[in-house]
Structures are given as C-alpha cells and as structure tokens.
Structure 1
Amino acid sequence: MPYCLKERATYLRELADDPDCDRTTLYNTYIQFKTLNLISSRWQSIYEVYIRPWLQIEERTLTLLDVGCGGGDIALAIAEWVAQDNLSLKITAIDTDIRAINFTNSQSNPHHVEFLNVSTSQLVAQNRSFDFVISNHFLHHLNSNELKDILIESEHLATKMVLFNDIERSALLYYYYAALGLVLEPFFPQSFIWVDGCRSIRRGYTRSELLTIANDHWQVKRLFFSRLLLIYTP
C-alpha cells in the first residue's frame, strides 16, 4: 500500500465538516452523494439480506435508527424500498450537524422519516431503543476512541442488529476514485464530493483495524468493492 495510505490520515478534515463552508456547495454535495451512494453503497442488498426478513415475520412495526445521516438519502431510500415491499418500518435519522438536519427537512419526505439533531449518547441517556441501528460513511469521521464510544452506544440502542457500512482504505479505491473524479467532475459542479471523497478514503479504516477496535460480538464483512460492513447482533 502506498505510504500515504498505510495509516489513517486522521489529520485530514473534510471540507463539508467545516462549519463555515459555503452552504450552497454543502447542499450540492448532499444531493450529489445520493447518486454515488445509490451506485456504490450496496444498501439495497444490505436491506434485502439483513432488514427485510425481519419485517416480513414481525407483526409489529419495527424501528430503525440511521446515525450520522448527512443528507438523509440512505434513510429515505430504505423507506422507499420498505413501501415498495408493502412492509412497515419506522425510521429515525440523526445527525449532530444542524445543517444536515435543516437540509433533510427541506427535502421531499413521502414516507415520514423523522430527522433529528441529536447524538447517540443523548438517545442512550433517554433510554431510547431501536430494532436496527445503521450508519453509512460515518465511521471514517471518527477517531478510534470515538469509534469505541459509538460501538458501545449502538449496542445499548439496538435490540436486533447494528449495521455500519463504510469504505475500506485501499490503494485500489483511492486511485479509482481520484481517476473517476477527473472524468466526472464537470457533471458534479460546485461540490465537495471529489476532494472529500479522496479524504474519506484516506481516513477510512481497514478490516484489521476495525477488528482490533471492536469487541468479539462484532463481525466485519467485506463487500464489493472496498467496503466494510460492521455487524453486531445482541
């Protein structure tokens, strides 16, 4: 692995995380990540394999918490798949960045996903619980101590399963994404998507790093391509 990718580049800060960044560019980034996530995140297959079977056998309406929801596209997509399957799921999506929640609350929300500006620690303090706790592209934002805290808090919050989906730091993904950006950047104007995407990859965890941090109750599965799914079942 190239030197710049051997260790997590925790010193790098994503442009979208700057509280003083341009609001229009930030919102464009939220909108454009919806397209990239649809192509690369594998959430539809994760939903079909891990979440939908529970919805098909339970008589009550199950609940799902999306942690670090950003622009809300994953929560909204899951809500749409549930509706298409004629099933029921109450979805709550949270982010500690009020700008993300303001954006999500300005978007179409036909399936009534609840977007909240709270943290997992606040929900734990409120004794909240959810059947499923998920996140997408969230773990790489955290240092190892913050990640340990999130894992502990999600264990308290989830009654059936935790599914944390993120990129794995690798040379293949980094160079592929950088090359893709050179070709597609004109189609994604006024956005942080390419700079932040490369920084996200450099901040990403490897499978072995996650296994070192998580306790034995967690599994780390590889997905195509250069993706990791961190799974906990109580």
Structure 2
Amino acid sequence: MNRYKHRAYNEELMDDLTAGGPSMDQTLRELETINRWLGGNFVTIDGLVKLLKKSPSRPLVIADLGCGGGDILKLVARWASKKKLEVELVGFDANPHIIEYAKENCKEFKNIRFEVQDIFSEEFKQREFDIILCTLFTHHFTEKQLTGIFRQFKSQAKIGVVINDLHRHPLAYHSIKLLVNLFSKSEMVKNDGPLSVLRAFKRKELVQLMNDAEIDRFTLQWMWAFRWQLVF
C-alpha cells in the first residue's frame, strides 16, 4: 500500500500538551534551526506580503496559532520593522511549557506577547485579529476539525489568513528523516519530523478543505521546501 496516498493520523509526541522540560526546549531550538535552514519560514512572510498589497493605515494585530518557540513571530517582527509597519504580535499555544519557552526566546521584542489558549475554546472563538498565521500547525488536525477551524477563521481574521504547511511527498519524508537522524539530538524531532510529513497534505486535499469550509476565494501555491502556502 502507498503510505503517502492518505494522511496519517498518528499523534506526534508534541501533541502531548503536558510535554516540557529540557527535551522540549531542545526540540524547539532544533525546529527553529531546521526551518531556518530549509527556508520554509519565507512561505509565511511571502503570504503576509500578498495580503498586505497596500500599506495599512493603522497598527496591525497578527496572531500566530501553534506558535511554538516564537520563531515565526520574531521573523515577522523583524520584517515589519524593515517595512516600518506597526504591528502587535500575539502567539498562542495550548502547551504552557512551550509558551514559557517562547516568552524567554522572544523577550527582546516588545511587540510580541504570548498566551496559553485552546483554539477550540469559546473564549478564543470570540477573539478577532487582522491576520492569522498558521505555520506547521494545521497538519495536527483532522479534516473535520480543519473545516470548522477554517470557517472560524473567516469571522476572526479581518484581513486574511496565511497557512504554511507541509506537502506529503516521499522525497520530503525521506529527506527530513535523513536530516534529523544525522543531526538531531532530540527524540521528539526524530519522531515527529517524518511523521509530520505523513500527516501533511496534497493539493486536492487542501482544495477540498476550502470547499468544505465554503471558502471560494483563496490562493494555493507550492513552495520550497515541500511547503504549501494557502492564503485566504
């Protein structure tokens, strides 16, 4: 059977919201390095550029869901500074240990803050932002969950949403497996890196999710390295 034909639903070690300590810190450090090496973070910045074709006339509130160690928000903060854009950046994660790491990791940035929050909670559903970012986050959910999440985003994001996630492909799987086995010191990274590719998406699956969520205006682009950029 072709293991890449359908999405996998095995839970990653990082899905354990009680996970923390030195092993989690090591994992977050390595993930920031891996994403920087492979150039995948550019996908999120490019999505922001597409949404902000005109310079905003007011400060923007940008939310990063499943923010991890805050590396994407640091990237956005630096990008906004160069563009002379005033932004308020808020990172959300359901794991309090990750949020504590992120606060320390981003302490030099005065316009970044973090909250422990479950995006399925009624409290979170009442929140509004200008832009919502999801980087390597959506593959953690089932299609049914994602349909609801995307519908929710339509009412929460005033300007738009940028999804940056993985393309399920054998070359992506074997490449990340080789990379983490050679260089990673984190058992979580060694387990979750290849598994995240198996949980990821093919183009037709993302298009179907947009249809199911009744979102007809979106762009979907394949970008290096084996990333999908979904903007709506």
Normalised to the residue count of structure 1, the TM-score between the two structures is 0.86
Where do 4+ consecutive residues of structure 1 move more than 4 Å?
19-22
Aligned to 2:161: 162
Query: Residue 176 of structure 2 aligns to which amino acid in structure 1?
Result: Y
How far apart, in 1, do the equivalents of 2:42 and 2:20 lie? Answer: 32
Change (3 A) 1:221 1:115: same
- Identical-pair percentage: 24
Gaps of 5+ in 1: none
Render the CA deviation track for 1:70-100: whole Å, top value 9, x for unaligned.
Answer: 1111112211222233321111111122222
How far apart, in 2, do the equivalents of 1:35 and 1:231 lie? Answer: 25
How far apart, in 1, do the equivalents of 2:86 and 2:38 lie? Answer: 25
How far apart, in 1, do the equivalents of 2:186 and 2:54 lie? Answer: 42
Query: Residue 80 of structure 1 aligns to which amino acid in structure 2?
Result: R
Render the CA deviation track for 1:129-182: whole Å, top value 9, x for unaligned.
Answer: 211111100011001111111101111111111101000100110111122233
Which segment is superposed worse, 14-23 or 146-155?
A: 14-23
Aligned to 2:67: 69
Per the alignment, in what secondary structure is the counterpart of residue 164 of structure 1? strand
Change (3 A) 1:49 1:65: closer
Structure 1 position 213 matched with structure 2 position 209: yes
* Contact in 2 for aligned 1:163/1:231 (Cα 8 Å): yes
How far did residue 198 of structure 1 move? 0.4
Render the CA deviation track for 1:5-32: whole Å, top value 9, x for unaligned.
Answer: 221111x221122345462111110111
How far apart, in 1, do the equivalents of 2:161 and 2:193 lie? Answer: 24
How do 1:79-228 and structure 2 match up within 5 A?
79-112=77-110, 113-121=112-120, 122=122, 125-126=125-126, 128-184=127-183, 188-215=184-211, 216-228=216-228
Change (3 A) 1:77 1:167: same
How far did residue 56 of structure 1 move? 6.3
Query: Residue 142 of structure 1 aligns to which amino acid in structure 2?
Result: F
Query: Residue 54 of structure 1 aligns to which amino acid in structure 2?
Result: L
Query: Residue 196 of structure 2 aligns to which amino acid in structure 1?
Result: S
* Contact in 1 for aligned 2:131/2:160 (Cα 8 Å): yes
Change (3 A) 1:50 1:21: closer
How many residue pairs end up in the alignment? 226
Query: Residue 214 of structure 1 aligns to which amino acid in structure 2?
Result: M
How far apart, in 2, do the equivalents of 1:58 and 1:22 lie? Answer: 38
Query: Residue 32 of structure 1 aligns to which amino acid in structure 2?
Result: E
* Contact in 2 for aligned 1:174/1:198 (Cα 8 Å): yes
Query: Residue 30 of structure 1 aligns to which amino acid in structure 2?
Result: L
* Contact in 1 for aligned 2:139/2:165 (Cα 8 Å): yes
Query: Residue 135 of structure 1 aligns to which amino acid in structure 2?
Result: C
Normalised to the residue count of structure 2, the TM-score between the two structures is 0.87
* Contact in 1 for aligned 2:20/2:98 (Cα 8 Å): no
How far did residue 230 of structure 1 move? 1.4
How far did residue 48 of structure 1 move? 4.8
Query: Residue 161 of structure 2 aligns to which amino acid in structure 1?
Result: V
Change (3 A) 1:51 1:207: same
* Contact in 1 for aligned 2:163/2:231 (Cα 8 Å): yes
